[in-house]
Structure 1
Amino acid sequence: MQVSQLWRYPVKSFGGEQLQSAAIESDGLRGDHMWAVIDAETGTVASAKKVRAWSRLLECRARLLDDADPSDPSVLEITLPDGRCTRGDDPRTPGLLSELTGRALTLEARPRTYDEAPLHLLTTAAVEALGTGDTAGVALRRFRPNLVVSTGDTGFVEDDWLGRRVEAGSVALVPTQRTARCVMVTLPHQEVPARRDMLRTVTDRNRVPNRAGGKPAPCIGIYADVASDGVLAVGDSLIVR
């Protein structure tokens, strides 16, 4: 098995950027989930899964021009759905995001927060097991992984990695739970079209407990904690102990 893709999502609920190598730190991939769009009225983080208007954020894309200091607004580049680019230090950026969603929004660097764990892994075997008919690139991106692992196995192979040690490059990870899916997998983002049937497809193919003692849920992919930080690169071999 080997690492075939690496993805970073600098802004929560935005599309991300594909990398050739990445520093994996104790709290995740460097620069990942560093920024959040904030509802100006309530102070809550705008999540595409919570408010319909915020699903427009998925149509935006973010990348870091430099990751020496990912919290520096001048290195955050945002591409809007119409192709216009802006940066985190541009005073017009909050207004552009507010105009897009119809809600008053701000953009802030915050301590990194994740749904469940710092890293999200997905195997090509699991995506192929869904049999959705999507092209490989679209199928993988729909689930927004950090690490894509190519494997010659078949089925939802990463389901068996929980609690084991996963090593690649100079990094060691410990998978903690399966990734339970929600409406996010049905929504469009960048080149990924909407698929209203996707959550039902995952439910039909892999409805299992996402953690020990949990209730069955539609799952694909796994979350992992960082046991040993280091550097990962596309092409690195991956070993499950």
Structure 2
Amino acid sequence: MDAAHQMSQLWWHVVANYWWLLLLIFVLGILKSATFKGWAGERRVKNITLQLDPDSYTIFHDVTLPTPTGTTQIDHIIISTQGTFVIETKNYSGWIFSSEKSSYWTQVIYKNKKKFQNPLRQNYKHIKTLQDLTQLPFNLFHSVIIFAGDATFKTDLPSNVIKQHSLKKYLQGFNEVVLTEQQIYQIRCQIEDNRLERGFKTNQQHIRNLNKSKR
């Protein structure tokens, strides 16, 4: 019996007797992936938006728009007479150290530190894309950063960086009417007409664009 045949028999023995362990390892790998964590965080925020009055708020999720250099992907857009709220969701745990003007924020879990892009800067690019699309003044857009995980903020943050459960209260804190119903309709139509089709192909194209921009 040659070595290749022996290895083949050993492999099938492992699969037959320990398939459940292999499946568990596979599932745990998915649950710990950044892609799944991002999806889970966005799903939590989406569920909260379902509590908003549909007559008062127009809501979009997972909007990918073309830009001069590729694409930009916006987690949530909420439009009301109080303005257009552009939401970037982060699903993080541990301690978060941040500064409004720094390029990166830091996540700390025990002795492990991980830097990630300042979401305020990230969301600024999203708003600029929407502003260019709608040709509306920048001050009619509101940047909102939502942390959907159980992260603890260890530094002072601006008021537009909130936890997921605070979203409804945060939106209700805006009382001044700055958009007409006609403007809301126009914004909605422009987003619907220009957003790329949701799905795997669009997501992969966006990832390629991100990787290209980092070179």
Larger relative contact order (CA 8 Å, sep ≥ 6): 1
- The answer to whether the superposition gives a TM-score over 0.5 is no
Query: Rg larger in 1 or in 2?
Result: 2
Q: Choose between structure 1 and 2: higher strand proportion.
A: 1
Q: Choose between structure 1 and 2: higher helix proportion.
A: 2
Query: Normalising to structure 2: TM-score of the pair?
Result: 0.25
